[in-house]
């Protein structure tokens, strides 16, 4: 995909998520690898509903900002994913309501944030790590991600929002939408003794779809 098409795709996908209420105001940020190993990222203080393709922050392959507006303050968490996961072609961070709400509840599994309600979150996300609260833009978020050594494609920042890396910008957006949908399901069935997938069923999904699972 050429860079102009990638710029447009980033903005189109961001606008779609904004229009459907997955992140509001000037929240959320998105980045994607360019054809030459550089990076496009949403600028600081911008809305997913009004991103301008021509004003995306543009980094070269060395990480130097070469044109566009100043980038999101959350670049440390984006950089941590790119530096630790060789397959990462895009990173998306949202302030999606249901995932944030679920992160606030007691008894949530920090190592496997989403309960196994359907196969789809398992297929697209693997295990989602719940990280503690950090101030927005804190470089320590990047340090926490690096501490996972690239073993997770998705994390949930407590009281803040999910962050997902994917092979492409479409894959990352699809996966983070699945994370939000599963969190919504988890809230809907909480306390209702819902039937979750069994360990055997999870193992079958992991094996059939070659899911990164385990540590």
Q: Which helix (H) or strand (E) holds 185?
A: helix 169-189
Whether 82 is catalytic? no
Q: What is the mean pLDDT of residues 64-74?
A: 96
Q: What is the mean pLDDT of residues 14-26?
A: 97
Q: What is the mean pLDDT of residues 51-57?
A: 98
Is the confidence at residue 110, as pLDDT, over 70? yes
Q: How far apart are CA 160 and CA 93, in angstroms?
A: 10
CB of 181 closer than 8 Å to CB of 188: no
CB of 145 closer than 8 Å to CB of 84: yes
Give the CATH class of 3-208. Answer: alpha beta
The active-site residue out of 82, 120, 170, 212 is: 120
Q: How far apart are CA 136 and CA 160, in angstroms?
A: 8
CB of 175 closer than 8 Å to CB of 167: no
The active-site residue out of 74, 177, 178, 180 is: 74
Q: What would the pLDDT profile of 158-176 be if each residue is shown by its tens digit? A: 999 999 999 999 999 999 9
**Bridge partners of 31?**
41, 91
Q: How far apart are CA 134 and CA 169, in angstroms?
A: 25
Query: How far is it between the farthest Cα atoms of the chain?
Result: 54
Exposed / middle / buried, residue 55 (Cβ in 10 Å: 0-12, 13-18, 19+):
middle
Give me the percent of the chain exceeding a pLDDT of 90.
97
Q: How far apart are CA 134 and CA 157, in angstroms?
A: 8
Q: How far apart are CA 24 and CA 14, in angstroms?
A: 11
**How much is the pLDDT for 137?**
87
Sequence spans of domains, the chain = 3-208
**How much is the pLDDT for 213?**
87
Beta strands in the chain (DSSP E): 29-33, 39-41, 57-59, 65-67, 90-93, 129-131, 154-157, 161-166
Whether 177 is catalytic? no
Tokens read off for 11: 């903005």
Strands laid side by side in the 90-93 sheet: 65-67, 57-59, 39-41, 29-33, 90-93, 161-166, 154-157, 129-131
**How much is the pLDDT for 1?**
83
Nearest-10 Cα torsion for 56, 57, 61, 66: 110
Which pTM does this prediction carry? 0.96
């Amino acid at each position: 995909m050429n860079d102009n098409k990638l710029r447009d795709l980033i903005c189109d996908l961001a606008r779609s998520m904004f229009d459907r209420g997955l992140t509001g105001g000037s929240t959320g940020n998105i980045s994607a690898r360019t054809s030459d190993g550089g990076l496009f990222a949403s600028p600081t203080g911008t809305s997913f509903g009004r991103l301008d393709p021509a004003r995306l922050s543009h980094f070269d392959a060395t990480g130097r900002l070469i044109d566009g507006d100043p980038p999101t303050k959350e670049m440390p968490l984006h950089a941590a994913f790119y530096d630790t996961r060789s397959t990462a072609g895009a990173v998306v961070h949202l302030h999606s309501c249901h995932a944030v709400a679920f992160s606030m509840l007691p008894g949530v599994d920090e190592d496997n944030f989403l309960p196994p309600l359907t196969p789809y979150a398992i297929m697209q996300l693997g295990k989602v790590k719940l990280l503690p609260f950090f101030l927005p833009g804190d470089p320590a978020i990047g340090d926490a991600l690096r501490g996972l050594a690239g073993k997770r494609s998705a994390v949930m920042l407590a009281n803040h929002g999910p962050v997902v890396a994917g092979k492409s910008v479409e894959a990352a957006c699809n996966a983070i939408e699945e994370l939000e949908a599963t969190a919504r399901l988890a809230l809907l069935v909480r306390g209702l003794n819902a039937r979750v997938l069994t360990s055997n069923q999870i193992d079958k999904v992991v094996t059939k779809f070659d899911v990164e699972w385990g540590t």
